Amino acid sequence: MSPLKSEVGLKSILEVKIIGNLLFFMNQFSIPAEDFDLELTMTCGQTFCWHRIDGELYGEGGSRFYTVRKGEPLIVEQEGDTLFVETELSREEVKKALGLDYNLEEIFSTFPEDRMLDLAKEELWGLRIVQDEFFPCLISYLCSPQMRIPRIKAMHNSMARKYGETLEVDGNELFRFPSLEELSEATEEELRELGIGYRAKYIVETVEMLQEGVVDPEEMKDLDYEEAWEELKALHGVGDKVADCVLLFSLNFLEAYPIDTWAQKAVKQHYPDLHSEDYQKTSHNLRSYFGDYSGYAQEYLFHAARQEILEV
């Protein structure tokens, strides 16, 4: 990334890289990234599709991160208010992937006056909601029930290594998550051997349903939130929370408010009037209170609870 760092601005540089046996024409460019914290965005617990070039995503490591989209590596690093990028993807695709196509100040201006959210905002400013590709996001969240975030990430990585592709870039191994077709070769027994446990059955059956066209993610984007939420739950193993996570982190339904253990604790402690033992009712209450960008409120409050910024 260093050759680009003297090129602050919007100028693009074309660099040819041989990745594996493939020839990639990697563009290098920079993107203004005010009100953005790459490290925080990558490590707040929302994504399993991004990786550190050096080290573990949910652990110690370097400041360069990557994912693979449309089969193309996307490598990013932040210095100050500038994001340095290497990829064949367009500038707009990169901004969308990282949530930089939204104005964070404008999003927060839509929220009601709220002391807890103000506290989370003060400590976590710059956290953005990513938009990962639908299939790897879905499969990762199928692994999430009763699992800690680093363990889910390990499951994602094990599937990428066994069924996807390893790309070598500048001496670094990058992992591409398998496509729908590639993962359809996996048996439940093989997935269990990777440590995925009972969730292996969810993955195998959901892959079959996607191949049959039970759910079309592109068509879902045109539905309203409630319709998309119900349709996604037709997939095996996709419950209320997993549906909300996939809608929020891959299909741009920014009103979705996933309610996991941390979110439930925060709601019960700080928003008792919005809390219910019924998931759907709590979700409705929270979305009515926070509005069209409820997912941003959720992610700030969720991470604030995890980081003990908020008492739960």
Would residue 121 count as lying in a domain?
A: no
Residue 311 burial by CB count (10 A; 0-12/13-18/19+): exposed, middle or buried?
A: exposed
Residue 111: what are its φ and ψ, rounded to 5°?
A: -80, 150
Contact 36, 126 (CB under 8 A): yes
Would residue 203 count as lying in a domain?
A: yes
Longest dimension (CA), the chain: 58
Would residue 274 count as lying in a domain?
A: no
CA separation for the pair 208, 119 (Å, rounded): 44
Statement to judge: residues 156 and 205 lie in one domain: yes
Would residue 191 count as lying in a domain?
A: yes
Each of the 312 residues of the chain gets a pLDDT tens digit; together they read: 443 443 434 444 545 454 454 445 679 999 999 999 999 999 999 999 999 999 999 999 999 999 999 998 999 999 999 999 999 999 999 999 999 999 999 999 999 999 999 999 999 999 999 999 999 999 999 999 889 999 999 999 999 999 999 888 888 889 999 999 999 999 999 999 999 999 999 999 999 999 999 999 999 999 999 999 999 999 999 999 999 999 999 999 999 999 998 888 899 999 999 999 999 999 999 999 999 999 999 999 999 999 999 988
CB count in 10 Å sphere of residue 309: 16
Q: What is the CATH number of the domain that holds 57?
A: 3.30.310
CB count in 10 Å sphere of residue 21: 6
Range of the domain at 165: 132-251
Would residue 45 count as lying in a domain?
A: yes
Statement to judge: residues 84 and 162 lie in one domain: no
Beta strands per DSSP E along 21-162: 22-32, 51-52, 64-69, 72-79, 82-87
Q: Which residues, 6 or more positions from 230, have their beta carbon under 8 angstroms from its beta carbon?
A: none
Answer with the one of 101, 118, 145 that is the final residue of a domain: 101
